[in-house]
Amino acid sequence: MRLSADMSAFQDRLGYVFARPELLVRALTHGSISSSTRADNQRLEFLGDRVLGLVMASALLEADKDATEGQLAPRFNALVRKETCADVARQVDLGTVLKLGRSEMMSGGRRKQALLGDAMEAVIAAIYRDGGFDAAQEVILRLWGARIHQVEADARDAKTALQEWAQARGQKPPAYELASRSGPDHAPVFTIVVRLTDGREARATAGSKRQAEQSAARALLDRLEGEAG
């Protein structure tokens, strides 16, 4: 199989040349355009998630030989979560080569975080199936790059950290409220307010509820730390 010019350019951005290019094509084929003769990328996504997890777990152990399991687990989660995979996908401009059905394309599928994250995992699996674990590991470590060493020393998500802060002071868990939702369906914008029982609050806006909640929790934590200081 000969790859199109845009697929060949994507290989260059990945830094990996497929011996079986049909694997790359499948990895970039979304379910919205699949058929009985054209498989989608869901099975590869399943495998890629596991390959990525093994590479990241090994990399984190090497990066900090004294870290406890309790320290490593949140760092791991930060590196393999869908948002991070989508960021890496944007880094290599994966969206431009995604194969989508017309409706998904019209609704902005090339920019959707979930689609980008899933496809990035599928591409990892395609590399693994094509060139083996060492090839997949090399690509992952290069693309994730400084993220591995810059992940916060304590990468607990902000919502967990804020809940622990409240519980340590005898307060109920923080309450999250959707203040507003705007934008088109394919690119929504959510504003979330997080509030403690003592009345202190913060708000944040993001492209998903989860991101907005995390950002609001982080903003409130920053405020609390500033007041303590």
Residue 138 assigned ligand-binding role: no
Out of 40, 83, 87, 121, which one is annotated catalytic? 121
Place of tokens 């060492």: 134
- How does 137-146 read in b/e, with b if 16+ C-beta sit within 10 Å? bebbeebbee
What single letter denotes the amino acid at residue 107? S
**Does 49 participate in catalysis according to the annotation?**
yes
In angstroms, the CA 7 to CA 97 distance is 7
- How does 177-189 read in b/e, with b if 16+ C-beta sit within 10 Å? eeeeeeeeeeeee
> Which residues does residue 175 pair with via DSSP β-bridges, in sequence order?
195
In angstroms, the CA 87 to CA 93 distance is 10
Residue 121 assigned ligand-binding role: yes
Out of 49, 104, 130, 213, which one is annotated catalytic? 49
CA distances, 153 to each of 86, 168, 198 (Å) = 22, 21, 29
Short-list 132, 155, 138, 157, CA closest to 58: 138
Short-list 19, 33, 24, CA closest to 4: 24
**Does 66 participate in catalysis according to the annotation?**
no
Short-list 100, 97, 86, 81, CA closest to 214: 81
- Token duo for residue 39: 């498989």
Task: Give binding residues for Mg(2+) as ranges.
Answer: 45, 118, 121
Query: Catalytic amino acids?
Result: 49, 121
Residues marked as binding?
Answer: 45, 118, 121
